[in-house]
Structure 1
Amino acid sequence: MEGKTAVVTGASRGLGRGIARALGSRGFKVYVTGRSADELSAAAQEIDSFGGKGVPVVCDHSDDAQIGLLFDRVKAESHRLDILINNAAAINARTLSAPGAFWEKPLDLADMISVGLRSNYVAAHHAAPLMIETGDSLIVNISFYGAVSYHYGPAYGATKAGNDKMTFDMAVDLRPHRVTAVSIWPGLVLTDMLKSISRELLPRKLVEDLPNFETPEFTGLVIERLWRDQAKLTRSGTTLISAELGVEYGIRDIDGKQPRLYTDTLGAPRGRFIFPGNQ
């Protein structure tokens, strides 16, 4: 499709940056957002090198006005939006993973509810009119197994569970307009930052398990295939696991492995939310 366009929020590093590279490899023009101009510029260059077109946009997703300007720019420059991937999150990894109960940790851990849940709502709010106009488009809210199992405490869990429920409700409103909204759980991801850490500084058990970690590109490849699925609207409102979609679509990771499911240890989606009038 000529001019196919995506927005990936929180794409200056980590999972978002890998997703953006994968979409670039499929010929997308990808708007990548984050707060670091240098990292976004490097991400955009990677997208270009993978065959797409990277557009870096500095955007603080705690600022509603900046999010609105982002989508104004997408509409003015590209006139369409095929995929929105909400991945931005205000996560301080050191504080989040530190030992202790939630009341013993800094209150700013709750910021991920603002940038990670509320910011996804704001992005979808601004993107929806253009995606309806584009037609057959896809909104993906990045979530995780922490929606149904304990991960890092209540702020993290509320953010992930909230994304899954918000996705369902968005889908109810969007379905008549043939815009699909899903929540996707990636697995454990071998980010560029994790790869750069000396193995001597990591726990032995983690080092042994690293070959099983997904590359950041894998979820992007799965999302692109879902977007091309002519039956994707039937999945709207559901929570999906990238590893399961990979098996269904016959997609392996870029290193050749079939990524692992963690449903036995970390939990599984609890199914569709049911409300009167839900089809």
Structure 2
Amino acid sequence: MTRVALVTGASRGVGHGVATALIDAGWIVFTTSRRGDGPDGATTLACDHTDDSAVATVFERIVADAGRLDLLVNNAWAAPKGFGGFSDRFWERPVDDWDTLIGVGLRAHYVASVHAAQVMVPQGSGLIVNISSFGSRGHLHSVLYGMSKTGLDKMAADMGTELAGTGVTAISLWLGLIRTELLLSLGVDEFAGFSLQRAEDPRFVGRVIDALASDAQLSAHNGDTLVTAELGARYGITNDDGTPPDSHRSAFGGGPLFPPAG
């Protein structure tokens, strides 16, 4: 049986790389973006993730075409107006930054997860992945960015509790620095104190997700927040050039936020 995946926000960057890696691994891949563009080999669907009816239509299309859904990668994201690297402090920014960083960066992931679970629970299997970051452990970019990422981790933890026994697993992934085309175009050796040479390729993240979805022990991680670089080391997965990316765990002072340390 060929597995079916949906990767949201896959026109470029992490989403594009994840979708490409899944296609390479033999998945049937659907992707969303605002303009409906995405990687070759995917079924690309235009979707505004602030429009709940448009999101519902995406899942209806997947079920009509493929009959099932085995993986949802929640990656959709939108920058606030005038985005310039989050250099301004929260009281210096317009309050409608909330509409993108929380409305898309958090709420849209919840909406997609609801639809995914409505398909996965009846079939008795599936994996929901939230693309999060170490910004839920320490300050990174902005107040709202950290709020959205922490929300994704708590979402996965509580979804895991309610999904227990259904065969469906929810997790959150902390990515490190990502070698996107935009970042590489800057011509720098490091960014925010982290080496680009040891950063993560977008397709590395996709290979990690593929390995995680194939892990016979996947259900043991239901509700957990995991670190992509550390999963790569566990599964023997490297970047496109063969280098293993670094985990940023020590730089942010601790282990997974959810579940809390006992």
The two structures have a TM-score, normalised by structure 1, of 0.87
- Alignment partner for residue 164 of structure 1, among 153, 165, 168? 153
Q: 1:205 to 1:21 in 2, by over 3 A?
A: closer
Count residues with an aligned counterpart: 259
- Indicate the residue corresponding to 1:194 in structure 2: 183
Q: 1:60 to 1:104 in 2, by over 3 A?
A: same
- Indicate the residue corresponding to 1:76 in structure 2: 64
- Alignment partner for residue 270 of structure 1, among 247, 257, 262? 257
- Indicate the residue corresponding to 1:90 in structure 2: 78
> For residues 9-65 of structure 1, what are the alpha-carbon distances to aligned partners after superposition, in whole Å with 9 as ceiling and x for unaligned?
01011100000000001011111101123xx1xx331xx2xxxxx100000001111
**Aligned partner of residue 9 in structure 2, secondary structure:** coil
- The runs of 5 or more residues in structure 1 that have no matched partner are 49-53
- Indicate the residue corresponding to 1:128 in structure 2: 117
Q: Percent identity?
A: 39
CA contact 1:96–1:109 (8 Å) conserved in 2: no
Deviation at 1:176, TM superposition (A): 1.7
**How far apart, in 2, do the equivalents of 1:274 and 1:173 lie?**
20
- Indicate the residue corresponding to 1:65 in structure 2: 53
* Greater share of helix: 1
**Aligned partner of residue 244 in structure 2, secondary structure:** coil
Which residue identity is paired with 2:234?
A: E
- Alignment partner for residue 236 of structure 1, among 219, 222, 235? 222
**Aligned partner of residue 225 in structure 1, secondary structure:** helix
> For residues 124-148 of structure 1, what are the alpha-carbon distances to aligned partners after superposition, in whole Å with 9 as ceiling and x for unaligned?
1111121123333110011000001
Deviation at 1:87, TM superposition (A): 0.4
CA contact 2:174–2:225 (8 Å) conserved in 1: yes
**How far apart, in 2, do the equivalents of 1:269 and 1:69 lie?**
34
Which residue identity is paired with 2:227?
A: I
After superposing the two structures, state which structure 1 stretch, 209-218 or 178-187, moved more: 209-218
CA contact 1:5–1:80 (8 Å) conserved in 2: yes
**Aligned partner of residue 53 in structure 2, secondary structure:** helix
**How far apart, in 2, do the equivalents of 1:261 and 1:198 lie?**
22
Which residue identity is paired with 1:58?
A: A
**Aligned partner of residue 32 in structure 1, secondary structure:** strand
Question: Is residue 2:15 matched to residue 1:16?
Answer: yes
**Aligned partner of residue 44 in structure 1, secondary structure:** coil
Q: 1:168 to 1:137 in 2, by over 3 A?
A: same
Deviation at 1:67, TM superposition (A): 0.6
Q: 1:92 to 1:126 in 2, by over 3 A?
A: same
- Alignment partner for residue 44 of structure 1, among 12, 36, 39? 39
